[in-house]
Structure formats: C-alpha cells, structure tokens
Structure 1
C-alpha cells in the first residue's frame, strides 16, 4: 500500500508534525505501508524521513485559514485576497506534486492538517481515497477562521474519512457541519521507548518545563504572570525552562517581561529544540497553559516521562488528566491567580510530584501507546482502499 502523506506545518517538529513522523516511521518499519511525504517547509520531518530512506519533497502551500479583520469591508477584502493567494499556491503545489510523484502508484492520500486543502484537490482529480487528519479544535485555539466559503462542505466532498484526535475535536467539527458518517476518533500515540523516565529526587529546586510554540495561545505569558505573583520564598524554589520558537515580536515581549519582572534567575528561554523529549526526565513539573489544545502532545510526553503536569481546564486537557490523581488542573477563566495558587501548593507539597507523576506515566502507557494508533490508522487505510 502506497500513501501520499501531506504533512504541512512549520517544519519545526511541533505536535502534529511529530505525530505524523511517528506514524510514518512505525508503519514503514512494519513494512505495511510505503510513503511519499510532502512538507510545505523543509525541516524536521524531511530530516527524519531521509534518515528512514522515505521519499520526501518540499512543496510550498498556504493555509486556508486567516485572522478576521476589523470592519466588514476590510475583512471581506482581506479574505478574498488571501483566498486567491491560497488557491494560486495550491494550484502550483498540485502541479509540483504531479511532477514529483506518479499519482497512478498512490493508493490513498493522507492530509495531516485541516487547513491544508491540496490533498483534497488531488483526491478529487485522480479519484484517490483521502484521509483527513483533524488535529485542531475548530476555533478556540488560534482563533482563526476558515478561508474558503462553505469550506467544511468542500472538505466533506473531498474526503473519504476524517480522523479526529479526540472526542472533543470530533464534536466541534461535526457541530460545524462535518459529515459525522465519515468521522472516526483515533487518539494520538507516542513511542514511550524513546522517553526516559524521571527518577525520584529531593532537590532544593522544582524544575518546571513548558514546550511548544511561544505565542499567546500557548499561554507562556500566563505562567510568567503567575510565577511573578507567587510568595517570594516559594518563587525562589522554582526554575523554569521555556522551549520553543515564535514570532520575533512576541518573543521580544516575553523576554522584556522576564527582564522587567526580575525573573532572569528563574526563567531560561531555551529556544527551539526538536528533541526536547530527550531532556524531560530532568524536570519535575510540566505546564500546559493553552487556550484550547485539540490533543496536547507535549502534555502526554511529560506524563510519559513521569512528570507531574499542571494544565488548563480547556480543550482536551480534562480528558487526559484526572485532577489530583495523575496531574493538576487550573481554571483558565481565572488563569493567573489559580495557576499561582496551584504552583504554591505543589511547591509546599513536593512529594505529590512523584506520586502523581507515576500515575501519569501508567495512564499514558495504557492509553496513548504508538502501537494502538498505528493499528487503528492502518485499519482505516485498508478500509478506504479495499
């Protein structure tokens, strides 16, 4: 079975790209599927594919989403221009893929993001089954809007199957018009063998890690403000490492806040690291302060490493973490104050870190193993290509 996998993404190896890479690697190693991989920017996925001798190409594409402008006329003009740009780029992408790939050898197309439409275009043109991986909540995370008029109806017409990464994701998209008869929920999985487990320790410091793109939606600013408000003696017992890149203007704001709030001795911005999972065992507490995660891969990875995770009660987080059992939740509607209170509680009850961390690892091993995801996805490939 040969699959054309359109990964998309930033090339930085963030959540959805890592999920795709794990899936591709596992099914390739099992010799169940051969892949040709398309990325929109050269990056981690290309490097990983090359290491596994998987054919891969870089084909620039534009996402079919946009940030709504103020004013009806301004928004209408902006949307029309962005739509024309996306259509033009998609047309060029289709031609480039046709030049690189013999479409007669492709049994199915797998698109990794809801905002990429090129896979749907190729599916309709060649009559090839199309799997669409829906890894984003409809609106709540990045607050973006679909670009094409009646875009979900268009997706229904250009897809054989939608794979949603959580029940919440499926419910949101179905509510907006996605064909529920084409929807299957398959939770993302991780390869736990590559994640070293944290060892119990009784250090003076509590080491906190937060990874992912540094932007407003991910909530690094919430963590910084919460730590700023902590009791001084308790605040001096934490060390925070922030992993991830971001837009220069926003990174500048975060760095200025750290400096102005005299937190340089507490917070270290580590920058982008494609292999952050290899160092998770060095930490005690993982933070997820997102506005609304569709799945929360970084949360699962921290749990797998045996960290205690403190996460917002938004998106898929409540479906992953059981509060006070295998992690802690804080109220996003009162985010700064509640996160500050939870941090102070954990600092004064350090023994809970190991206790909840062990429970978190057990849950991940039972529920989010890569083998479960690959078996389910392969079964869907077989179903739509039979």
Structure 2
C-alpha cells in the first residue's frame, strides 16, 4: 500500500508524533509512506530519519481561533488553499498513491486534491473543535464543513470516542473508526535524582486556559493547608497572560515555593519518571498523549472526567478521575494516593502494564491498515456503483 500523508504542522506536537509512529509501524509491515508538510522543521527531520520521503506544500488551515475568524483572514486562507490544492493534485498524480491521509481536521486541501484525482481519502482527526476543544472554528461554518468532510472521505479515523461523539451528527457511524494511538516512550536517559521526600505532582502540557493548570495549583493549596508535603511541577510553554495568572494564583494561595514552572525540557520523561503522580486537568483532550506517556513510565494519572482522558483512566485502577474544574475533588484524589503508597505503586504498575499491552506500535499499525483497506474498498465500490449507474 502506498500512502500519501498530509500534516497540518511542521513541528512535533501530538498529532505529528502519531504520524511518525504510524509511518514507522506501517513501513515495518511493508507499506510505503510519503509525507507532505507545510514547511521544513522538526517533523520533516524526524520523518526523514525514519526513512520517509517528505514534500513541502504551503497550504493553510480552514479553521481559526476567535481572533483569526475575520473575513480577511478566511479569504486569505481560502486563496492559499486553492493554490495548494492544485500543487497537491500534481503531487498526487506524480506519486500515484493508493490512499491519501489528512492528519487533522484543520486542513482540507488534500481532500479536494484526492477527489479531483479520484484517489481514496481518509481524514484522521486528532482534535476536538469549538468550545469543547481549543476554540477552533471552521471558516465556512461547522455544518457545511463537516458535511464536506463526510463527502470527501472514504473513512474517518478518530483517536477517541470523545471525538467520535462530536462528529457523529454529521458522519454516519459506519464511516467513523476509533483507533487509539501507539505512544512510544523512549528509555529515560538521565534520571533525575530526588533529594527530598516531598510528594511530587507533575502536569505536562502548554500552559493555557483550556489546560486548566489553575485546578492543580488550587488543589495544591488545599493540601498545603493540611500540612501535606506536596509539590507541583508545571512543564510546558506558556501563553503569557495565563502564565502570569498562574504565578499570581500560586502566590496569592501561599504555595509559590511549592510550584515549579518549567518552560522547556528536552527530556520531559525524566521529570515524569521522578514524580509520584501525573495530573491531566484539561477540559477537552481529544486523546491524551501525555496521560499515556506517564502511564508507560509507571505513574498513575489523576485526570479530569472529560474528553479522551475519561476513556484512558479506569477510575480507581490505573488512576483517578475527578470532576472537571473541581479542585476540591482533585485534592481529595491526590490525598488518597499521598496516604497510601501501596495503592500508589499498584496503580502505577497497572497503568504501565495496561498501556504497554494496549497501546503499542504493532496494534496501532494493524488497526490503521484495516481502516485504510476499508477506505480503498469503499472507494472502489463507489466507483463501480457510479459506472454501473452511468452504463444503465
């Protein structure tokens, strides 16, 4: 199977890491993957190291945040996408793939090029949209855009049931397939030596309102009032206003010395491995790559009962779920593990065993191959049906 795979980002965030893992898994099974990126950066380098050919096409998103939904921004993106679709059509005709995969709902040029070239197309959705996600809104409206996604796809892969539920009003159930990501975690090369016995919490992810790190700080303050020796590390780049808000909150609640802000870590896995519990406070994780990374490092995760997080954490077995935006509930769950180190260890062990058994490269690649073959078969059946109707 020859697959042309389009990424919306040139960097290495969650969806892009999934692309790299998928390419490695598919190539190990004898399939060919060629990638398209909007610019050369970290993703292109990582793919090249995995033996994947990479092309660059300057396409734009067809979604925007509230700040970039003005008509002029939408028209500018539309013009870029018209030009990009023509370039992609030439590339598709040159490569002659069996299948085109668009690695996000944020771009559409690959879908239009595939339709023009009469090549099967799969949309691979890694994100929630609208207010449930990260305030991403379609340039041409939700209903019209999602109906177009349905018409321009032979199958749609989603990375959680949370994403499936958000799409199910526009996409028929037989076209939606849930495939959980593999999530590879490298060995921790430089373990961090602990110099104290403080109970360590960690939250990895960009500091932004949708991630709700404020809940972690508020929960920490409630634990501090009980004289529990707990600290919190917040690892991730900051949106300036929210970062300042979190620092002020920690100071106002009297826990500033217990909170460490780490803007960038080349190896965040070492920090997770040195912690006791990982937190996931986000209001709308489509999947939760960070959650699985922590589990694979043997850490229980306490996460908000929201989005894909609620599918990954089996409450009371490999972690705890707490009510979204309820810092008191979060603090209570942390306190349980603080007071029961045997439960802490068993939850971490169960999290590691489950994640390694369930979310691995072999299973991931096999699941994708099955869906891609369904898409190819669906496309062939549609062409045959069309030819039959024209002949009659």
Shorter-chain TM-score: what band? 0.7 to 0.9
Instruction: Give the Cα–Cα distance (whole angstroms) in 1 for the partners of residues 86 and 231 of structure 2.
Output: 50
CA contact under 8 A between 1:195 and 1:304: conserved in structure 2?
A: no
Query: What secondary structure sits across from 2:303 in the alignment?
Result: strand
Query: What secondary structure sits across from 2:334 in the alignment?
Result: helix
Deviation per residue, 1:122-148 (Å, 9 max, x gap): 111211111111222343122332222
The yes-or-no answer on 1:87 pairing with 2:75 is no
- Please, which moves more after superposition, 42-51 or 225-234? 225-234
Deviation per residue, 1:230-254 (Å, 9 max, x gap): 334645x223222222433333333
- Please, which moves more after superposition, 253-262 or 110-119? 253-262
1:166 aligned residue (160, 167, 184): 160
Partner of 2:337: 346
For 1:252-263, what aligned pairs fall within 5 Å after superposition? 252-259=244-251, 261-263=253-255
2:310 aligned residue (318, 321, 328): 318
For 1:28-107, what aligned pairs fall within 5 Å after superposition? 28=27, 30=28, 32-68=30-66, 78=69, 80-97=71-88, 103-107=94-98
The yes-or-no answer on 1:376 pairing with 2:367 is yes
The yes-or-no answer on 1:284 pairing with 2:273 is no
Instruction: Give the Cα–Cα distance (whole angstroms) in 2 for the partners of residues 275 and 54 of structure 1.
Output: 24
Partner of 2:147: 153
Query: What secondary structure sits across from 1:332 in the alignment?
Result: coil
2:197 aligned residue (201, 204, 208): 204
The yes-or-no answer on 1:299 pairing with 2:295 is no
Instruction: Give the Cα–Cα distance (whole angstroms) in 1 for the partners of residues 327 and 7 of structure 2.
Output: 35
Flag the 1:314–1:44 CA change in 2: closer, same or farther, 3 A: same
Query: What secondary structure sits across from 1:227 in the alignment?
Result: helix
Give the alignment's TM-score, normalised by structure 1: 0.86
CA contact under 8 A between 1:110 and 1:131: conserved in structure 2?
A: yes
Gap regions ≥5 residues in structure 1 = 70-74
Gap regions ≥5 residues in structure 2 = 378-392
Matched positions, count: 372
CA contact under 8 A between 2:92 and 2:113: conserved in structure 1?
A: no
Flag the 1:93–1:141 CA change in 2: closer, same or farther, 3 A: same
Query: What secondary structure sits across from 2:262 in the alignment?
Result: strand
Flag the 1:98–1:126 CA change in 2: closer, same or farther, 3 A: closer
The yes-or-no answer on 1:8 pairing with 2:1 is no
Instruction: Give the Cα–Cα distance (whole angstroms) in 1 for the partners of residues 36 and 249 of structure 2.
Output: 39
Greater gyration radius: 2
Partner of 2:320: 328
Give the alignment's TM-score, normalised by structure 2: 0.85
Deviation per residue, 1:323-350 (Å, 9 max, x gap): 11110111115x2222122223332333
Instruction: Give the Cα–Cα distance (whole angstroms) in 2 for the partners of residues 57 and 305 of structure 1.
Output: 35
Instruction: Give the Cα–Cα distance (whole angstroms) in 2 for the partners of residues 313 and 242 of structure 1.
Output: 20
Flag the 1:380–1:278 CA change in 2: closer, same or farther, 3 A: farther
Give the drift of 1:279: 4.5
Query: What secondary structure sits across from 2:345 in the alignment?
Result: helix
CA contact under 8 A between 1:226 and 1:339: conserved in structure 2?
A: yes
The yes-or-no answer on 1:229 pairing with 2:222 is yes
Flag the 1:59–1:365 CA change in 2: closer, same or farther, 3 A: same
Flag the 1:59–1:244 CA change in 2: closer, same or farther, 3 A: farther
Cα RMSD of the aligned pairs, angstroms, is: 2.8
